[in-house]
Structure formats: structure tokens, C-alpha cells
Amino acid sequence: DIVMTQSPDSLAVSLGERATINCKSSQSVLYSSNNKNFLAWYQQKPGQPPKLLIYWASNRDSGVPDRFSGSGSGADFTLTISGLQAEDVAVYYCQQYYSTPLTFGGGTKVEIK
Amino acid sequence: EVQLVESGGGLVQPGGSLRLSCAASDFTLSSSWMNWVRQAPGKGLEWVANINQDGSEKYSVDSVKGRFTISRDNAKNSLYLQMHSLRAEDTAVYYCVLGRKHGWLLDYWGQGTLVTVSS
């Protein structure tokens, strides 16, 4: 199984500042035949189901604000929120869809400082 | 807009059974992989199982193998999760999730249904 490790577990950021979340996989999730990283990021607000933010490591889903960006390749990935807004308070999860069992990171709780 | 509505959750005793259903509206499920993902109270996300478009491929996490069965009825535009031999650690909100862009990418989520296993 591919183990996904997120850091930090939580972070507090001032409004308008940058939040950075890291995600490491226990093995590469880069598929060589198409050069795509099978890595996604989700946002979960309290009382709501998760929402897809980023797929293929760096593609924003439809309607996702451009302050959210994903980067990285292989086994190291980053989600960046540039200019944190109050509505971004949530728990963020990374997930690999390279192989089953599909696995998630433990989550990172983002709060306002 | 895709809408996924889960049902069938509730309180069940350890060792009991439950069948979850997921109905889709404004979308034809037969064109996509479908997944079940669960979240224990106050915990993170755990993928449970998935099934391909015609039901010929199924995968599940080891902890539910032999106890849970995923299935689908494309004529009814529905997804199911039959759960047997339930344990306290199966207590969670169970989400029905569509993989439309890529079968194993979880791009549309239902609101979830709560399963509580307790005596």
C-alpha cells in the first residue's frame, strides 16, 4: 500500500498570507507512460463532504479559485494557498490514485491566525 | 449538476448487516467508476471500495474484504454497499463518490450517510 504523509498536522495563517501544505508518498505516483502524477488534493469544511481542488498534482478543478495551486512530482507534493481567505478554513487532504487501495494523507487543518 | 444521495445508514449491533444505497440524479452512473469512502467521527478519510462501469472490476481495502460487497445497478442508476459482520470500527459516515475525470479520482461526493455500530 502507498502511505501518504502530510505535514504539518495543522497551521494558522494570517488573512492574505500564504499557506503551504506538504504531502509525501511512500513510493512514486508518477506514471511513466503518460508522465502524470496520480495525486489529488481535497478540501473539507466542517459538516460538509470533501471537495476536489487539484488533480494530476497541479490541475485546478472547475471553479476552484486560482489562489489554490499544486506542485511537485514523483513522491513529493505541495498545496499552496496564496492569500488565505476566511472561507479557506478547512481540513485539506492529499490522495494518491495510482494504485489500490486508494490512500489519503492524514489531513492538515488550516485556521486563521 | 451531479447529485449523489446516499441512504441506508443507521444504528446496527456488532455482527449485524446493513445495505447502503446511492442514487444519482442529473448524471448517468453507467459511464463512470464509483467509489465508497468513509470517515470515522473526527477522523480522516478512508477509501473503502470501488467498481468499474459494468461491475466487472471491483477493489476494496483489506479491512473490509470478505465482509463488504460493492455493486451497482445501472438500470436503476444506483450504487450499493452490502456490509456484513459489522464492527465498532466500521462506524463512520459513508460517502458515495463518482470518479468521472478518472475512475480513481474522487471528483463528486454525496453528502454521506452515517453508520453506527454499537450495542
Q: Select from A3, A95, A104, A101 the least CA-distant residue to B59.
A: A101
CA distance A16 to A82: 7
Q: Check if the beta carbon of residue B37 is closer than 8 Å to that of residue B48.
A: yes
Average pLDDT over residues A34-55: 97
C-alpha cell at A81: 494557498
Asked if A51 and B101 come within 8 Å (Cβ–Cβ), the reply is: no
Residue A55 scores a pLDDT above 90: yes
DSSP symbol at B119: -
Interface test with A, best of B3, B34, B45 (most A CBs within 10 A): B45
> What is the C-alpha separation between A82 and B68, in angstroms, rounded?
42
A30-44 mean pLDDT: 96
CB neighbour list of residue B29: distance below 8 Å, 6 or more residues apart: B72, B74, B77, B78, B79, B98
Mean pLDDT of chain A: 97
Rounded to the nearest angstrom, the gap between the alpha carbon of residue B44 and the centroid of all alpha carbons in its chain is 16
Question: What is the reported pLDDT for A35?
Answer: 95
Asked if residues A85 and A94 have their Cβ atoms less than 8 Å apart, the reply is no
The predicted model gives B60-85 an average pLDDT of 97
Q: In 10 A of CB B62, how many CB atoms?
A: 8
Q: Is the pLDDT score of A43 beyond 90?
A: yes
Instruction: Indicate the pairing of strand A103-104 with strand B78-83.
Output: unpaired
Residue B45 to chain A, least CA–CA distance (Å) = 6
Residue B114 has pLDDT above 90, yes or no: yes
**Dist. CA A19–CA A88, nearest whole Å:** 10
B110: helix, coil or strand?
Answer: coil
Contact (Cβ atoms closer than 8 angstroms) between residue A65 and residue A84: no
Task: Please give the full DSSP string across A13-54, using - where no structure is assigned.
Answer: E-TTSEEEEEEEESS--EETTTTEE-EEEEEE-TTS--EEEE
B104–A97: do the CB atoms touch at under 8 Å? yes
**Residue B17 pLDDT more than 90?**
yes
Selected residue with higher pLDDT from A38 and B25 = A38
Q: Do B105 and A97 touch (CB under 8 A)?
A: yes
pLDDT at B102 over 90: no
Grid cell 470478505 in the structure block, residue: B66
Q: How confident is the model at residue A5 (pLDDT cuts 50, 70, 90)?
A: very high
**Percent of chain B surpassing pLDDT 70:** 100
A35: Cβ contacts below 8 Å, ≥ 6 apart: none
Select the residue of A49, A55, A102 nearest B47 (Cβ to Cβ): A102
Q: Is the pLDDT of residue A73 over 90?
A: yes
> Which of A102, A104, A109 to substitute to test the interface with B, most B CBs within 10 Å?
A102
> How do residues B21-51 score in pLDDT, each as one tens digit?
999 988 888 899 999 999 999 999 999 999 9
pLDDT grade for B69, boundaries at 50, 70 and 90? very high
